[in-house]
A = this chain, B = another copy of it.
């Protein structure tokens, strides 16, 4: 589970400094500087070199929300350098695209551990599942117990390209994979981020697509333009009931632990670790939003 919920995650290409620098103006729960598909092959080395400056500038300007860097996929010639450079900056974590197998995960996770040793800052990992192989392996990926992995994201566009299929507005062609990824994430106690919606001028269609993601159980959505993040924040906000219930649940667990009880029976159901972690994230988020106290 991520340190706090992400209802919206906004991308900007790493080679478009003028877009990245605007992050502090926007209301997204998280931002990602994109070294992968958003940055052309020839621009990647320069964009990577420019990362420390950009991250420092965003922190100076008080960017609201968590800050991520999307690196290149683990089998590319860029991945190792991406991890080293990004891991040395004041980011909250890494997004890892085209996650296919547990070995991919381990390699990047080890890179993050080395960065943590160096900088003393904790780093989170969001794995993007967006290939046929990634979806086939998603339960193993989610259940790997990797110390950094906090969330899985589903990338519908790359997935359907890898499948040799075609995207539609209704999205039945990705319903299976989209459902399987969020299920695997939830069963393993990870957060889950829903697919990008590429038609940036069709807000009604974005809302419909986001609502389906919310219904399926996703925590939030990846966004490609700032106003999508505003809509996602609204659609993926926990309800007042859910916040209140999460508070009661976290309190009950604390009380049980104080009394030395392990298993916790809460309002007629047993609380397991994934449920507790999710409730804690909701409470933390609500406190930060100024909705009541812990």
Contacts and interface: CB of A to CB of B under 8 A. Distances in A.
Nearest to A268: B41
Interface SS majority for chain A: helix
B187 A133 contact: yes
Interface stretch (A81-89, A117-125, A209-217, A247-255): A209-217
A208 to B, nearest CB: 12
A259 B76 CA distance: 18
Interface stretch (A13-21, A106-114, A145-153, A160-168): A160-168
A57 B29 CA distance: 59
A219 interface: yes
A183 interface: yes
Given A73-B270, A76-B270, A183-B163, A173 B136 contact: no
Contact of A162 (B37, B186, B265): B186
Given A265-B76, A265-B77, A135 B183 contact: yes
A179 B177 contact: yes
Copies of the polypeptide in the assembly: 3
Nearest to A179: B176
A139 interface: yes
Given A136-B139, A265-B76, A180 B176 contact: yes
A133 B176 CA distance: 17
A132 interface: yes
A273 to B, nearest CB: 11
A75 interface: yes
Contacts of A77: 265
Contact of A136 (B165, B166, B187): B187
Contacts of A7: none
A184 interface: yes
A70 interface: no
Contacts of A139: 136
A249 to B, nearest CB: 13
Contacts of A135: 183, 187
Given A164-B278, A183-B132, A75 B175 contact: no
A184 B163 CA distance: 10
Contacts of A187: 132-133, 135-136
A187 to B, nearest CB: 4
A290 interface: no
* Nearest 10 pairs of A and B residues by beta carbon: A163-B217, A176-B179, A165-B217, A173-B215, A132-B187, A132-B186, A136-B187, A75-B270, A166-B215, A164-B217
12 contacts: A98-B270, A133-B272, A136-B184, A136-B187, A163-B182, A163-B183, A172-B215, A173-B215, A173-B217, A175-B176, A177-B179, A177-B183
